[in-house]
Structure 1
């Protein structure tokens, strides 16, 4: 292989190798273990795998360095071995291959499919370190692969271009066929990578050959664009704790022939592929002439689906109302039993009291409760009051979150509170898994992405949702300014208004009002009536985010039974009076389904509105 890599690819098809991890698992690397460490501990096996792909007909070999960056290696305590692992990998590939094939240094995406606020400086450092380590050895190019985020891929390309003119091959991974995970149409994403300095662009992982072919068919790229494709061996099945791929080498080879017809110049394999798959591809493509990428008239998008704007409801949103007048939302927890009639009785009583919305928690304190989506739909239909449902990051993975949101949209439930959620070990099923696929910041951002008509995967949804999103705020902290800084980030992510934890100190209302005066989002301050002394002590000492003043605890300690509940309402009424001096938004939290307590508070809050109206008229 004497020609420069880019010179060779102008006139020839390159056969890439297949999966490294698949074979390493077969040799005994457990799923989830660090296969890159074997560059140091089992160099003989790494050489053997490279040699097996060369023997199968591969003319482009990747080093075993996909996850050999500081961020990934730190999970295994190997962050100080970045240079040693990367340099060893290149040396092993060169020892196994010699000059019989091109060798490219593999650099994998760090973020993967996670929706996250990435630290640009941290990513830059990780890519700089790995790439500089690889380039200390003899390479023909760098292969960036499995990048879901275009901006992250550009960071990696820039890291290479700062220190070398070596060819850069950059492969994205897409779940939707036409868009990246961060929302770029695929041809636009490839254009940005080429502008940044990539020599070859392509797709790998997540999809088998059929979907990659569909993606390439939809592209409209400049003629002469150099493309690569490394599909998985079909979709995996999860059998006895292992992922198994079913696509045969023969099918994989047939698909490779179709990829060549679309102008793909480098064809290899990703997850589940073996030397047998690569051998079948090499035999099928032997003697094939490369094809140029053709302008795809069907992809010029004259009939591209235009996502309609949502129909504008005449009903004002909660934050719109709060900018004009006192607005009251009341939390009424879904029941922990199958009997939900008492819940509906409470919702009806609160509607009669004039509340603007009823908000329902999502298994608060990790206690199993009836679905707030179902109850929200019933409240909306039967009671005629606006539901405001909570969504936690705890119970649903990303698939479940988007599915849940699509269902809420179909039901006409468009007001949400996005929160992290209490860990399952706090609740009634402590052995259940806490998912936390995303943070509350990311959940807010993804909900707002649906408002743009784009799904979590980047897929166009043909319509736009109309969600209004609240975010939680805990002012019960020693460092209020830090809580406000966190709140600012949530608003930057797209939150429309704020719902605070309950306050029990009159001075706090003024402090919170002053600390958040610069924020352009309505604040709904939390007020929760206490039911007794034990309830007060439990909240103060055991529930995260709630603190009671010494005065309130002292007052509650003097009463029992009905007298204690009356005192709880009296304290809440006093807090309400103070709150209304500073805020239009009132968030009443019903304790233990005792909705008569929050009905009394709601009536008092609304009485102030009526008196205000009469005074002005």
Structure 2
């Protein structure tokens, strides 16, 4: 059992969690979606996020209720209190008996300072009361009133919390963007004194303009710590940059952990992270600050039953596909698309010939570009049954909700499928079917997490499946030589979540492949570079200009353009690809051949080339399998 929070916090440093909102977006939750409503609509996603932070070492987690007040959830009507209660119950379920749960209360959304009549002030106070009542009903251990820019508003929130749930300790945190001052110029020490006088037992800061601003703010508040009031700090991971429509935060876990040491010297006893921080940051905090991890088993929300000793989770599996790879020869994957009709026999015949030629696996897309095709699960099962070759099922989060995805993966296991490539999926905007919209309950991160759980024998809700799936979990990697860092960080995250191999988008030069290999050398996963045999100059120009993430070298496009006949263009292009494959074969983990226009006959030539040459590749496949 955990000790009383107030008694414990005075003599110990408690490690909180990191950002919940930005982490949920990273896991595939659609941007713009109301995160507080996930407590009702998709509680398993919230539960999984809490569990990730607990695995990383968090001793305190915050509920997914930051914006769950009446002003921000007007459309939810009377459900506001219920949404807060559910948010608390989800966190309490994840926390078990060892982790503190803090009810998160954010600003109302009303602009301060107030100039309206007193009734507005009463309405704001009531909205905070309603939220706190729901959190208390859900079983939180304390409240964190956070990210307030206005001292006037946070004092209203503290008063409401003390009135609604006087038994719950209150942590109050304001935003001090620079030099320990609010946007209105109020000093951090003065604000801390006022929050303490209003009833907060810990005062501090979160969010703001990065780590340095947080260090400055808590340094100003340090006299309060000297007087016996512990401080709290949850800094952002630096100042964000927008890249490709995504918010990227630069502060690395190691840097933040070192700066956190400075905050402890100022009297911080509750430390965590805000925007841009993830479980990796919390894990580094735990290591650098030497905070002992809580001994608790977390497997999909399952708590230890009957007080039995916690069982250490099984290590992540390599899975059936990777285990099947033959030592001493270059692994080869060939991609075929299911047909856009029900005459599947030609694709089955092609798969049989590819298997006979020495391919190790057939990879099957799931309605690529949101264009209707025969189901890839049935195709994968038919190919596996007819040829015995491994099949890699592409699984998107676009077409099926989280419930259906889990059921589909259970089907795949029962049908003998042993490899899944987890991808978010193309937008449904380009579909050829009327009225189609994307679901996206899960995107690539969430899919990998789900598959890793199934491999351990648990559903997303923590229910035992009585057996474990045996999937080799794959991830897509869009390597862009001109700007590799964003996608590299995504691949690192996918590997951390459980991916064991990666398949890249097409690369068209040995230099690009070498550069890619240099960037991924530190990862303990196999990476299969995509090879797309071009068949015409038009084909090359289309891929280069219209398919995101694909770059066909100008030299190759110019060479193809010199020939007027498509047959001549194809001959030159295939010779170029054969030369490329020969150059990269000794250095790569495996080969991922994408059949152009589903022409498996072309891929067959390259499989035969590789087997006749007896290429062994990098040898890493043998080490991993």
The TM tier, using the shorter chain, reads 0.5 to 0.7
Q: Which residue of 1 aligns with 2:159?
A: 136
Distance (Å, rounded) in 1 between the aligned partners of 2:552 and 2:533: 12
Distance (Å, rounded) in 2 between the aligned partners of 1:88 and 1:496: 58
Alpha-carbon offset, residue 456 of structure 1: 1.4
1:318–1:356 CA contact under 8 A, matched in 2: no
Q: Which residue of 2 aligns with 1:11?
A: none
Task: Note the alpha carbon deviations across 1:363-403, whole angstroms, 9 max, x for none.
Answer: 11111111100001101111221110101121111112111
Distance (Å, rounded) in 1 between the aligned partners of 2:380 and 2:534: 26
Q: Does 1:520 align with 2:524?
A: yes
Alpha-carbon offset, residue 576 of structure 1: 0.6
Q: Which residue of 2 aligns with 1:608?
A: 613
Task: Tell which deviates more after alignment, 351-360 or 475-484.
Answer: 475-484
> What secondary structure sits across from 2:598 in the alignment?
coil
Q: How does 1:166-181 map to 2 (within 5 A)?
A: none
Q: Does 1:369 align with 2:373?
A: yes
Task: Note the alpha carbon deviations across 1:257-305, whole angstroms, 9 max, x for none.
Answer: xxxxxxxxxxxxxxxxxxxxxxxxxxxxxxxxxxxxxxxxxx9649999
Task: Note the alpha carbon deviations across 1:456-486, whole angstroms, 9 max, x for none.
Answer: 1222222222221111111135211332122
Alpha-carbon offset, residue 598 of structure 1: 0.2
Alignment gaps of 5+ in structure 2: 1-36, 38-66, 82-102, 139-143, 175-194, 202-303, 619-625
Q: Which residue of 1 aligns with 2:430?
A: 426
Alpha-carbon offset, residue 131 of structure 1: 7.0
Q: Which residue of 1 aligns with 2:598?
A: 593
Alignment gaps of 5+ in structure 1: 1-20, 22-32, 51-65, 97-101, 113-121, 145-152, 168-298
Distance (Å, rounded) in 1 between the aligned partners of 2:448 and 2:342: 31
Distance (Å, rounded) in 1 between the aligned partners of 2:575 and 2:331: 21
Residues 429, 606 of structure 1: alpha-carbon distance in 2 compared, 3 angstrom cutoff: same
> What secondary structure sits across from 1:37 in the alignment?
coil
Q: Which residue of 2 aligns with 1:560?
A: 565
Alpha-carbon offset, residue 89 of structure 1: 8.4
Task: Note the alpha carbon deviations across 1:429-463, whole angstroms, 9 max, x for none.
Answer: 37411112122112111110111222112222222
Q: Does 1:529 align with 2:529?
A: no
Q: Which of 474, 485, 491 is matched with 1:487 structurally?
A: 491
Alpha-carbon offset, residue 411 of structure 1: 1.1
Alpha-carbon offset, residue 582 of structure 1: 1.7
Distance (Å, rounded) in 2 between the aligned partners of 1:595 and 1:39: 53
Q: Which residue of 2 aligns with 1:247?
A: none
Give the RMSD, CA atoms, in angstroms. 4.8
Alpha-carbon offset, residue 309 of structure 1: 8.1
User: How many residue pairs get matched?
Assistant: 398
Residues 358, 604 of structure 1: alpha-carbon distance in 2 compared, 3 angstrom cutoff: same
Distance (Å, rounded) in 1 between the aligned partners of 2:489 and 2:427: 24
Task: Note the alpha carbon deviations across 1:167-198, whole angstroms, 9 max, x for none.
Answer: 9xxxxxxxxxxxxxxxxxxxxxxxxxxxxxxx
Residues 93, 582 of structure 1: alpha-carbon distance in 2 compared, 3 angstrom cutoff: closer
Q: Does 1:69 align with 2:131?
A: no
1:332–1:595 CA contact under 8 A, matched in 2: yes
Distance (Å, rounded) in 2 between the aligned partners of 1:381 and 1:83: 70
Q: Which residue of 2 aligns with 1:197?
A: none
> What secondary structure sits across from 2:504 in the alignment?
strand
Q: Does 1:580 align with 2:580?
A: no
Alpha-carbon offset, residue 34 of structure 1: 9.4
Q: Which residue of 1 aligns with 2:132?
A: 106
2:501–2:525 CA contact under 8 A, matched in 1: yes
> What secondary structure sits across from 1:438 in the alignment?
coil
Q: Which residue of 1 aligns with 2:355?
A: 351
Task: Note the alpha carbon deviations across 1:142-163, whole angstroms, 9 max, x for none.
Answer: 499xxxxxxxx99x98979x96
Task: Note the alpha carbon deviations across 1:332-379, whole angstroms, 9 max, x for none.
Answer: 011011111111111111111110000000111111111100001101
Structure 2-normalised TM-score? 0.54
Q: Which residue of 2 aligns with 1:294?
A: none
1:104–1:143 CA contact under 8 A, matched in 2: no
Q: Which of 492, 496, 501 is matched with 2:505 structurally?
A: 501
2:145–2:171 CA contact under 8 A, matched in 1: no
Distance (Å, rounded) in 2 between the aligned partners of 1:89 and 1:325: 73
Distance (Å, rounded) in 2 between the aligned partners of 1:546 and 1:612: 24
Give the structure with higher Rg (CA).
1
Residues 452, 125 of structure 1: alpha-carbon distance in 2 compared, 3 angstrom cutoff: farther
2:589–2:617 CA contact under 8 A, matched in 1: no
Q: Which residue of 2 aligns with 1:478?
A: 482
1:68–1:107 CA contact under 8 A, matched in 2: no
Distance (Å, rounded) in 1 between the aligned partners of 2:513 and 2:73: 60
Distance (Å, rounded) in 1 between the aligned partners of 2:502 and 2:72: 50
Q: Which residue of 2 aligns with 1:196?
A: none
Q: Which residue of 2 aligns with 1:339?
A: 343
> What secondary structure sits across from 1:329 in the alignment?
strand
